[in-house]
Amino acid sequence: MISLWVLHGPNLNMLGVREPDVYGTTSLVDLDAMLHSRGAAMGAEVTCLQSNHEGALVEWVHGAVAQGVSAIVINPAGLTHTSVSLRDALAIFQGVKIEVHLSNIWQREDFRARSLVAPVVDGVVAGLGTESYTLGLQAAVKLVRRRDGGHAT
């Protein structure tokens, strides 16, 4: 079984309520439930974690290293554009890493166009609403299987 962690950054606990025209109407609880079931269907055990605190996210990435997690799918939210610490933590994690965003960060304010995280991840999916997460999950599982030479169970 592939172990995959989905990390959600600040304010994503407010999904569904928060600027629904930008981020959609799906709640985080519903999104996480969907990711669990999609993951299970692909042979991945999905753990979803959300925090509004940079340090908590950094420590979860350290935990993923310690526990030998296969892949991280992360929406760093506002920390995407500001957090050297989260970027540095992700650089330590040697498993598969996919950055996701609900909105198209290159279509919005200038300050969102730069991701500090993007250079240390395998790929980025953005602008597709919750589909960014499901495609990110799919890509992560595929990359884990490819890296394991098809031997991951």
Active site residues: 23, 101
Q: Which stretch binds ligand DQA (CB under 6 A): 37-45, 82-90, 101-109, 134-142?
A: 101-109
Long-range own/partner contacts, residues 90-95 (CB < 8 A, 24 or more apart) = 90/61, 90/117, 90/120, 90/121, 91/120, 92/61, 92/62, 92/65, 93/61, 93/64, 93/65, 93/69, 94/65, 95/64, 95/69, 95/70, 95/71, 95/144
26 binds ligand DQA (CB under 6 A): no
103 binds ligand DQA (CB under 6 A): yes
Q: What does the DSSP 8-state code read for residue 135?
A: H
Binding-site member from 35, 46, 57, 77 for ligand DQA (CB under 6 A): 77
38 binds ligand DQA (CB under 6 A): no
Shortest spacing between CB 1 and ligand DQA, in angstroms: 28
123 binds ligand DQA (CB under 6 A): no
Q: Which residues contact ligand DQA (rule: CB under 6 A)? A: 11, 75, 77-78, 80, 101-103, 105, 112
